[in-house]
Chains A and B, each alone.
Chain A
């Protein structure tokens, strides 16, 4: 079964740090580009950032609001992608999802169509 399971969320004070994890199973993780998307309470979806496969350079890209504060990394031996969040702000409060692209045949839509989603992990930034 294809599955993504996020963990690591919690309550943190402004200026604090948190590391989220996303464990993958049921597909070839090392081939996949992995993306983080967040959703503030009662609000819409927001793309956070993405990491490519290591054979493609493992390149990362980030949304403007988190660039310089958040870092995405991956451990292919553990089939896990991470989101390190530093200098957290109250506006970072959200449910954080990891996701990956829709693949049909050998073509995968890693940067435009997200097919596999986790259940999300909640991050609350508050004093």
Chain B
């Protein structure tokens, strides 16, 4: 069981917006503004999409945005495109000896 809870799957049609949630506790998501999101295609390494809750690394499309409320962080993808179909993982810094915890991942299907 992963430390952070994500829905197993979400789907949307091209052009639509979707949101993926990531729920933790006050010891991780709720306690720090160090939530990141990663995109992973099958057989490929993860790619950083969002850091510090809502910041995009250079080169990441502005269609990707992040937010946080309490112990739940969210990734929103607007203007869905076929290339967005992938697995998405959230992560958070945590005060435990395991410094970083990940979510279980969400499979995004573009219909």
The interface of chain A, by Cβ under 8 A from chain B, is 35, 44-47, 50, 61-64, 67, 97, 102, 104, 109, 111-115, 117-120
Q: Which of B37-88 contact A (CB under 8 A)?
A: 38, 45-48, 51-52, 57-58
Q: Contacting A112 at CB < 8 Å: which of B58, B89, B100, B105?
A: B100
The 8 A CB mask of B89-106 against A (1 = contact, 0 = none) is 101110011111111110
**Chain B residue total in the interface (Cβ 8 A):** 27
Q: List 10 A-B contacts (CB under 8 A).
A: A44-B102, A45-B91, A46-B102, A47-B102, A62-B97, A63-B97, A64-B96, A97-B46, A112-B52, A119-B45
Interface of A (DSSP majority class): strand
| Further contacts, 6 of them, CB under 8 A, given A47-B102, A114-B38, A117-B45 | A44-B102, A45-B89, A47-B101, A112-B91, A113-B48, A118-B45
Q: How far is the CA of A18 from the CA of B63 in the complex (A)?
A: 42
